[in-house]
Amino acid sequence: MSNIKNDKILEVKNLSVSFFTEAGEIKAVRNISFDIKRNETLAIVGESGSGKSVTSMAIMQLLPDKITVYGEKSSVLFEGQEMLHAKESFLSTQRGNRVAMIFQEPMTSLNPYLTIGLQIIEVLVLHKNMSKSNAKKRTIELLELVGIKDAAQRIKTYPHEFSGGQLQRIMIAMALANEPDLLIADEPTTALDVTIQAEVLDLLKSLQEKMHMSILFITHDLGVAKHFCDNVCVMKEGEIVESGKIDDVFTAPKHAYTKQLLDSIPRGMKTDLSSANDDNLVLGEDIWVRYPIKTNMFGRVTKTFDAVKGVSIQIKPGQTIGIVGESGSGKSTLGRALVQLIDAEGTIEFDGNNINGMSVDNLRPLRADMQIVFQDPYGSLSPRLTVGEIVSESLYVHRPEMNKKQRLKRVEEVLREVEIDPHLAINRYPHEFSGGQRQRIAIARAIILEPKFILLDEPTSALDRSVQVTVIELLRKIQKKYSISYLFISHDLAVVKAMSDFVLVMKDGVIVEQGTATEIFENPQTEYCRTLIDAAFELTEIAS
Amino acid sequence: MLKFIIVRFLSSIPTLLLLIIVSFVLMHLAPGGPFTSEKELPPEVLANINAKYGLDKSWPEQLWNYITSIIFHFDFGPSFKYKDISVNDIIAQGFPITMTYGLWSFFVATTVGIALGITAAVKHNTWIDYFAVGVSIGAQVLPNFIMAPILIIIFTLWLDLLPGGGWNNGAWQNIILPVIALSTSFMASIARLTRGSMLEVLNSNFIRTAKAKGLPARTIIFRHAIKPALLPIMSYLGPAFVGMISGSVVIDIYFSTGGMGQFFVEAALSRDYSLLMGVTILFGVLTIIFSAVVDILYAWLDPKIKL
């Protein structure tokens, strides 16, 4: 933070935002005030639904006019000028020019039908009145500045030809094209892999120094906030519960909620329940998964994409194997091949049976012992079935001898097991539950048959940190009670560390490193693994 | 790109052959024939006629002769019903008429439909939107066979503004009513599709980005929103065009325009095998060409599809 000018660039006073929908009034932001000085970086942290994104959209005046109502005393002054209810003609001279914004999802935030060059050029032409050819030159400079190679060639390409990390760099280039005074970054790294996250944050930091701008940084990730920001506001249910210098707030939090947030980073390690003598429950040898990417005129596959290349894996009863890797490393594909949801080559044994290529009918009795919990608790529970129906469904297939009363009793048992009140839940539908509750329901569905093995495919990635911790504790408790084996797939190393006995690190379809959790995290052997760990724990080190 | 186009057209040849065979077989399976009538012909006369038109040969032989004469001589054979006129003559006379009002209808349906849909989406939840939605729902429940008599009643019988039938060498007065009758329900579908698709695009993240860049509303709509909103409409245009061509049957009957549709119905009723086959193949070819054109256009517009 430099002290050239310490005047306030943004002053938010008594901001209240409500939405009027068919369901009634929703108070998203309740009377919050804060300000940002020049060159300062302010973090707004909070969990989903805390109102932090609404705050940023209110500053930019991007909320839908018709349903949004601001409080009477609300005011947002940007460089002394009121933004709330400002005329569209005034706003368009500020947006993209003096105040710019980058978003959480770089993949959908750029227009897929326009070249990236044009999308940057248009901001320069609009606000700086540049000629097209000058704007093009400047665009190439900007893209080089954010680290896009061969910028002169690539301005002619479309967003789908870039990776998520590159797209976020392009978004940054676009936002900073006119050297704004304030950049609003709404979860800019949340959708990116950890290694890419760190790179993008470093880039933002260096550009901030170069361009002398202020940043309003919105995130749910305390590690990122700590790493990146000067000051912080902690938001909960539309209110700021605590604010101040980031070090003060994080080392000596005053408000209970801040403490709870800081405590919710998963820690510790699992104690091994298996013994070396046990037979393997799951055994995979030389597993290959190939997807056709090119076929000739007669439909014969001429080129394949190999998602998993000759991977071997063993899981013993009661053991948790963690698989980590960035997106596209083949970790989910491997998991799905092991439970025969997709075709694979190689040997796959489950509980002593060779299941690879087994017919659906023969496989069905074994399915009772292998269950899955997916990443997205919103998408993987049928919205048209009640919780009771979802949880009990597999009983009809695998326990046909049970009568209605017995089924109901069993459903109530498992729901209690996952700490959901059965009387409240059984007749309700998934959308009436929060993300964490839905994931508990998904776990109840998976354990109702008391399986020997559960594939956990990023089960906590869609959840807020504080909810994550409770779900992980639940999974540990269940494992202890039933001695279930887990295959735990995640890109989140802190969670994997807390859950696993043995860790496999995957990259481009192969295992690059494996060992016990202690070996991997304390003494990583490969460069790739070190980068992953550095990137992850640099951001979360504040927890310890 | 060229490879894609060539493959696309080559792959439609088997489709076309299948179409010919299936319609040929279906037609011959139905009882009766072109020369069956209430007044029975003497058997020797019937045999003569059958021999003249090659109907005494076996089915496969007839089919083979038919296909080869199309491929090598571009000859669809003589009409069984109209003496001394070949199917080629009938097509040459009726096809330009069908195409004239067909293409006009297509043009009107797409331009009016798209304009209406976009306006409704941009003015979402205002009276303009409600009006456009009301119009398109109203128009959709008026298929061509209802529209045609209503239009004739209003514009010909009551107002006496436009002729209620005839072609008159394609004078504009004669084109207007057939085009309105044929295009209305398609226009309504296109408008509703465009509105839905445009609304989705306007709520997308990249439009939010465009607003955050300070772009004026006009630029956002015309540069950023229209193309992605219209791409899904493209895939509806193929079936819509085919629908309009087959709708020409109704138009020809109500307005006596003399297009292909009229011959189609007559040929089916009187078992004029060669004429019916000729018209079927023609409609088939049109359908195939048009859906290929739509596919190619789609691929050309969508940067994610590389040809």
Distance from CA of B15 to the nearest CA of A (A): 16
A321 and A232 assigned to the same domain: no
From B288, B298, B267, B283, select the one nearest B102 (Cα to Cα): B283
Quote the Cα angle for B261-B266-B271, to 5°: 125
| Position A4 pLDDT exceeds 70 | no
Are A256 and A323 members of one domain?
Answer: no
Model confidence at B19, pLDDT cuts 50, 70, 90, reads: confident
Which DSSP string do the residues of B246-284 spell out, in sequence order?
HHHHHHHHHH----HHHHHHHHHHTT-HHHHHHHHHHHH
A136 is written with which tokens? Answer: 């093009």
Instruction: Provide the 10 A C-beta neighbour count for residue B232.
Output: 16
- For residue A384, being part of any structural domain is answered with yes
Measure the CA–CA gap between A373 and A456, rounded to whole angstroms: 5
Residue A321 CB partners (closer than 8 Å, separation 6+): A313, A315, A485, A486, A487, A488, A500, A501, A502, A503, A504
**CA-to-CA distance for B53 and B87, rounded, in angstroms?**
13
Burial of B2 (0-12, 13-18, 19+ CB in 10 A): exposed
CATH of the domain at A519: 3.40.50.300
> What does the pLDDT read at residue B8?
79
Is residue B181 a contact partner of residue B251, using CB atoms and an 8 Å limit? Answer: yes
Same domain for A375 and A241? no
A510 backbone φψ class: left, alpha, beta (φ>0; ψ -120 to 50): beta
Residue numbers of the domain that contains A502? 317-331+363-543
Token code pair at residue A371: 């269950």
CB B55 within 8 A of CB B257: no
Say yes or no: A119 and A242 in one domain: yes
Q: Which of B205, B210, B303 faces A158 most closely, judged by CB atoms?
A: B303
Report yes or no on A349 lying in a domain. Answer: no
Find the CB nearest A110 among B206, B211, B301: B206
Strands A485-489 and A320-324: parallel
b/e per residue, A183-221, with b = 16+ CB within 10 A? bbbbbbbebbbbbbbbbbbebbeebbeeeebbbbbbbbb
Tokens coding B140: 């959709």
Alpha carbon distance B215, B227 (integer Å): 17
Q: pLDDT confidence of A318, banded at 50, 70, 90?
A: confident
* pLDDT of A492 above 60: yes
In degrees, rounded to 5, the angle at the alpha carbon of residue A467 between the alpha carbons of residues A430 and A499 is 110
Read off the pLDDT of residues B179-190 as tens digits, 9 standing for 90 and up: 998 899 899 999
The pLDDT of residue A92 is above 80: yes
pLDDT of A1 above 50:
no
Q: A486 and A408, same structural domain?
A: yes
Cβ–Cβ contacts within 10 Å for residue A4, how many? Answer: 7
More confident residue, A260 or A178: A178
Q: Which residues of A have a CB under 8 Å from any CB of B? A: 60, 62, 66, 88, 91-97, 100-101, 103, 105, 108-114, 122-123, 126-127, 158, 160, 171, 174, 297
Query: How would you class B61 by CB atoms within 10 Å of its CB: exposed for 0-12, middle for 13-18, buried for 19 or more?
Result: exposed
Tokens for B60? 């496969």
Give the count of Cβ contacts less than 8 A between chain A and B. Answer: 73
Question: Please, is B100 exposed, middle or buried when counting C-beta atoms within 10 Å of its C-beta (0-12, 13-18, 19+)?
Answer: middle
Q: Which of A263, A287, A304 is the last residue of a domain?
A: A263
Query: Would you call A105 and B7 a contact, using CB atoms and an 8 Å cutoff?
Result: no
- Quick one: closest CA in B to A157, which residue? B303
Q: Is A510 helix (H, G, I), strand (E, B) or coil?
A: strand
What is the DSSP pairing of strand A182-186 with strand A99-102?
A: parallel
What are the tokens at B247? 């709708």
For B98, the 3-state DSSP assignment is helix
**Other CB atoms closer than 10 Å to residue A309's CB: what's the count?**
15
Q: What is the dihedral of CA A213, A216, A220, A221, to 10 degrees?
A: 20
What is the three-state SS of A238-299? CEEEEEEEHHHHHHCCCCHHHHHHHHCCCCCCCCCCCCCCCCCCEEEEEEEEEEEEEECCCC
Angstrom CA distances, A408 to A391, A440, A443, B38, B204, stand at: 10, 18, 17, 74, 43
Specify the amino acid at residue A489.
I
Question: Which pair of tokens denotes residue A354?
Answer: 């060779």
Bridge partners of A285, per DSSP, are: A347
Structure ipTM: 0.76
The answer to whether A225 and A197 have CB atoms below 8 angstroms apart is no
Residue A321 CB-half CA count within 13 A: 26
Which of B4, B124, B201, B206 is most worth mutating to test chain A (most A CB atoms within 10 A of its CB)? B206
Q: Is pLDDT at A268 greater than 70 in this prediction? A: no
Q: What is the mean pLDDT of residues A492-509?
A: 86
Mean pLDDT (chain A, rounded): 86
Give ranges for CATH 1.10.3720.10 in chain B: 94-269
Question: Does residue A288 lie within any of the structural domains?
Answer: no
Q: How far apart are CA A235 and CA A49, in angstroms?
A: 10
Domain B94-269 has CATH 1.10.3720.10: yes
Kindly state the helix (H) or strand (E) to which residue B158 belongs, with its residue range.
none
Q: Residue B38: what pLDDT?
A: 65
A2 has a pLDDT exceeding 60: no
Are A297 and B303 in contact (CB < 8 Å)?
A: no
Instruction: Read off the pLDDT of each residue in A140-165 and give the average, rounded to a whole number.
Output: 89
pLDDT in tens, A189-223: 877 777 788 888 888 999 999 889 999 999 888 87
Question: Does residue A357 lie in a domain region?
Answer: no
3-state secondary structure of A378: coil
Let me know: does B271 contact B80? Beta carbons within 8 Å: yes
Contact call for B212 and A96, based on CB within 8 A: yes
The pLDDT of residue B296: 83
Handedness of CA B208, B209, B210, B213 (dihedral sign): positive
User: Which one-letter amino acid corresponds to residue B166?
Assistant: G
Nearest Cα of chain A lies from the Cα of B82 at a distance, in angstroms, of: 45
Q: Quick check: A123 pLDDT over 90?
A: yes
Lowest-pLDDT range, A143-147, A452-456, B40-44, B112-116? B40-44
Residue A307: exposure state from Cβ atoms within 10 A (0-12, 13-18, ≥19): buried
Digit-coded pLDDT (tens) for A380-421: 888 889 999 999 998 998 988 999 999 999 999 999 988 888
Domain termination site, one of A263, A285, A305? A263
User: With contacts defined as CB-CB under 8 Å, which chain B residues touch A91?
Assistant: 214
Which range, of A193-197, A508-512, B281-285, B286-290, averages the lowest pLDDT?
Answer: A193-197
Q: Rounded mean pLDDT of A226-249?
A: 90
Least Cα separation, residue B303 to chain A (angstroms) = 6
Q: How far is the C-alpha of A311 from the C-alpha of A511, rounded, in Å? A: 7
Q: Give tens-digit pLDDT for A57-67.
A: 999 999 888 88
Whether B302 has a pLDDT exceeding 50, the answer reads yes
Q: What is the mean pLDDT of residues A177-187?
A: 92
Residues making up chain B, counted from first to last: 307
What is the 3-class SS of B60-87, one letter each residue?
Answer: HHHHHHHHHHHHHHCCCCECCCCCCCEH
Q: CA-to-CA distance for B98 and B93, rounded, in angstroms?
A: 10
Nearest to A109 among B209, B301, B303 (CB): B209
> Rg for chain B (alpha carbons), in Å?
24
Q: Quote the pTM value.
A: 0.75
Is A149 inside any structural domain?
yes
Rounded to the nearest integer, the mean pLDDT of chain B is: 84
Cβ <8 Å between B215 and A126: yes
Q: Among residues A263, A279, A301, which one ends one of the domains?
A: A263
pLDDT confidence of A301, banded at 50, 70, 90? confident
Q: How many separate domains does chain A show?
A: 2
Chain A residues inside the 8 Å CB shell of B125: 66
Reading the block at residue A455, the tokens are: 């594939």
- Are residues A323 and A199 located together in one domain of the fold? no
Task: Give the highest mean pLDDT range of A233-242, A322-331, B70-79, B273-282.
Answer: A233-242
* CA closest to B206 among chain A residues: A109
User: What are B14-19's contacts with CB under 8 Å, separation 24+?
Assistant: B15/B284, B15/B288, B16/B281, B16/B284, B16/B285, B16/B288, B17/B67, B19/B280, B19/B281, B19/B284
pLDDT in tens, B119-171: 999 998 889 999 999 988 888 888 888 888 888 899 888 998 888 787 878 78
Contacts of A277 (CB under 8 A, 6+ apart): none
The shortest CB-CB distance from A103 to any of B7, B209, B303 is to B209
In this prediction, residue A131 has a pLDDT band, given cuts at 50, 70 and 90, of very high
Whether A343 maps to a domain, the answer reads no
Question: Is residue A471 within 8 Å of A463, Cβ to Cβ?
Answer: yes
What DSSP element (H or E) covers B95? helix B87-122
Contacts of residues A390-397 at CB distance under 8 Å and 24 or more positions apart, as own/partner, are A390/A430, A390/A441, A390/A445, A391/A415, A391/A441, A391/A444, A391/A445, A391/A448, A392/A448, A393/A445, A394/A368, A394/A445, A394/A448, A394/A449, A395/A448, A395/A449, A397/A364
Whether A303 maps to a domain, the answer reads no
Work out whether strand A239-245 and strand A231-236 pair parallel, antiparallel, or are unpaired.
Answer: antiparallel
Query: In which band, very low, low, confident or very high, does the pLDDT at B273 lie, cut at 50, 70 and 90?
Result: confident
How much is the pLDDT for A58?
93
Return the percentage of chain B with pLDDT > 90, whole number. Answer: 21
* Residue A314, both tokens: 């063993």
pLDDT band at A277 (very low <50, low <70, confident <90, very high): low
In a domain, A391, yes or no: yes
